[in-house]
A and B are shown apart, each in its own frame.
Chain A
Amino acid sequence: NAGVMQNPRHLVRRRGQEARLRCSPVKGHSHVYWYRQLPEEGLKFMVYLQKENIIDESGMPKERFSAEFPKEGPSILRIQQVVRGDSAAYFCASSPGQPVTEAFFGQGTRLTVV
């Protein structure tokens, strides 16, 4: 899983604030996936992006959550007006293409809403 960089590793936000999570994929990988892991649970898919395009956002909550993967720079997962229930670990994964035969994850961002 070397190469996928997520920051910050830990993020604390008060209710109502915005959280911005960053993910730089493995060099050369053009596919990025965001997952959320609630305590004691497996990972749940949120969104799949390619450069400048959202391909599948079927796992994203309809409100307050958005994601982008610009032509230059990292992928960003943005959560507006955070609530306690948003507290979770958010993982980013990248893959070189389709079909996916390997998907490397970053170390995750642990978001705590207080």
Chain B
Amino acid sequence: AQKITQTQPGMFVQEKEAVTLDCTYDTSDPSYGLFWYKQPSSGEMIFLIYQGSYDQQNATEGRYSLNFQKARKSANLVISASQLGDSAMYFCAMREGGGSARQLTFGSGTQLTVLP
């Protein structure tokens, strides 16, 4: 079974609108972390936001927020007031385990295009 599922290969959004990128995960570990990364066409991986499984509140970083629904095992990224520079590939990733956590497992990504 896929540990991280991103069901939207591509998304379009109008500039200044909000957009939600979906991410569902699968783990039986009670301690885990969820990450979102942005990969623009230049190729680098840019860390956006992190949510821990025990965090009571949804994580927010500027225009990025993570809609964490633990019971549904979803960790959707919400980008408010989209900008042309937000056009990029977005990856959801999960770290399983607590103190012995090792690696991040990535989803297949969502290509976001912001339209002027």
Binding site for B on A (CB under 8 A): 1, 33, 35, 41-45, 48, 55-56, 59, 89, 91, 93, 98-108, 110
In the complex, are the beta carbons of A42 and B47 less than 8 A apart?
A: no
Instruction: From known contacts A89-B43, A108-B43, A108-B45, infer whether A103 and B102 are also in contact, taking CB-CB under 8 Å.
Output: no
How many A-B Cβ pairs are below 8 Å? Answer: 69
In the complex, are the beta carbons of B47 and A1 less than 8 A apart?
A: yes
Residue in chain A with minimal CB distance to B46: A1
In the complex, are the beta carbons of B95 and A42 less than 8 A apart?
A: no
Binding site for A on B (CB under 8 A): 31, 33, 35, 37, 42-47, 50, 52, 91, 93, 95, 97-109
Q: Which residues of A contact B104 (CB under 8 A)?
A: 33, 35, 43, 45, 93, 100, 103
In the complex, are the beta carbons of A100 and B95 less than 8 A apart?
A: yes
In the complex, are the beta carbons of A102 and B47 less than 8 A apart?
A: yes
In the complex, are the beta carbons of A105 and B43 less than 8 A apart?
A: no
Q: Which residues of B contact A91 (CB under 8 A)?
A: 45
Q: How far is the CB of B44 from chain A (nearest CB, A)?
A: 4
In the complex, are the beta carbons of A55 and B44 less than 8 A apart?
A: no
CB contact between B103 and one of A41, A48, A102, A110 (< 8 Å): that residue: A48
The answer for the CA separation of A43 and B105 in the assembled complex, in Å, is 8
12 more contacts with CB within 8 A, not counting A33-B104, A43-B91, A100-B95, are A42-B106, A42-B108, A43-B45, A45-B104, A45-B105, A93-B45, A99-B95, A99-B98, A103-B47, A103-B104, A105-B45, A107-B44
